[in-house]
Amino acid sequence: MQDAHSLFDIAGKVILITGGNKGIGWALSSGLAQAGASVVIVNRGRESGEAAVQAIQAQGGDAYYLQADLAEPQTMPELVLQTIQRYGRIDAVINNAAARINQWAEAHTAEDWDYILKVNVVSPSLLAQSAAIQMKRQGGGTILYVSSNLACRTIDRRSSYGATKGAIEALARHQALEWARFGIRVNCLAPGSTETPELSNRMRSDTPRYEALHQMIPLGRPARPNDMLGAAWFLVSAASEYMTGQTILVDGGWSIASMPKSVLFAP
Ligand SMILES: NC(=O)c1ccc[n+]([C@@H]2O[C@H](COP(=O)([O-])OP(=O)(O)OC[C@H]3O[C@@H](n4cnc5c(N)ncnc54)[C@H](OP(=O)(O)O)[C@@H]3O)[C@@H](O)[C@H]2O)c1
């Protein structure tokens, strides 16, 4: 019988995480490194990426930094090559970094669409494709896309963002189907509203909106970045070995709430 604890054993696994220096990505890269994985952090700002690597190393973890801009899809294969040069393998890719354009639906330009599709769909897919070629040689691996509850739900001024998140969930299902025969699993993690340092300041400054948001979350608060770690760990580990093409929603119950709590639970 398999030892239950070994299901979550990711010691020595090589995991590349885009945007692993900040917000949800930082919760994932620092948490998975603590669990024994070697994490490759990819983002644009070299200083904050290297600082994240040093912070992980200071805790006794293993991390490596690669600079890239997801607005340049042609550079994605190089990230996988450099990971292989450093570690000899790649076990998981977490496509976490994303762009948002907070703009009314009718005001989006062709340039806006070009940019957000490149960052949120084209580059993550090319990164997954390059990794899949290597994973096929290795006999397997996992791809995890960080989607959003806005793939299925709506708020104002997020049409292009929501569209890209819906696109990666569909993409994940198709890649999952095609790559299952190579032992590669592809899943999505969809956070609800999450208080990253940057976002929470902006959210809190808009008090009525912030309070309305609380009203829609049965578990009583927006997510913290660390709330995403358990589901991500599950999805990159053997614990989810029979799961592919799925999305796990981690949203405090927002998606099941039909009305604000003040109305639902009014005496
Ligand atoms: N926060 C939420 O409420 C929430 C809710 C649902 C889903 N999500 C999803 O969760 C993921 C993480 O969100 P977050 O709020 O934690 O993000 P964040 O705090 O804004 O951090 C974004 C990270 O991605 C990197 N990044 C951004 N654009 C990039 C680019 N063009 N190329 C390379 N790296 C880039 C940033 O580093 P550099 O700036 O140095 O490049 C940063 O590390 C995203 O996919 C987001 O859509 C977030």
Pocket of ligand 1 (CB under 6 A): 18-19, 21-25, 43-45, 48, 68-71, 96-99, 119, 146, 148, 191, 193-194, 196, 198-199
What CA–CA distance (Å, rounded) separates 40 from 83?
A: 7
Residue that is written with structure tokens 């959003």 in the block: 148
Burial of residue 215 (CB within 10 Å: 0-12, 13-18, 19+) is middle
Q: For strand 38-43 and strand 62-67, is the pairing parallel, antiparallel, or unpaired?
A: parallel
Specify the pTM. Answer: 0.98
What CA–CA distance (Å, rounded) separates 190 from 261?
A: 22
Ligand 1 centre and the CA of 99: distance in Å?
7
- Rounded to the nearest 10°, the torsion over CA 102, 108, 109, 113 is 70
pLDDT at 265: 85
pLDDT at 266: 85
| Domains recognised in the chain with CATH numbers | 5-195+224-252 (3.40.50.720)
CB of 85 within 8 A of CB of 133? no
The total number of residues shown for the chain amounts to 267
pLDDT over threshold 90, residue 137 = yes
Residue 44's alpha-carbon distances to 28, 47, 49, 68, in angstroms, are: 18, 9, 8, 5
pLDDT at 67: 98
DSSP 3-state of 216: coil
Radius of gyration of the chain (CA): 18
Ligand 1 centre and the CA of 264: distance in Å?
33
pLDDT tens per residue across span 183-216:
999 999 999 999 998 766 677 778 888 888 889 9
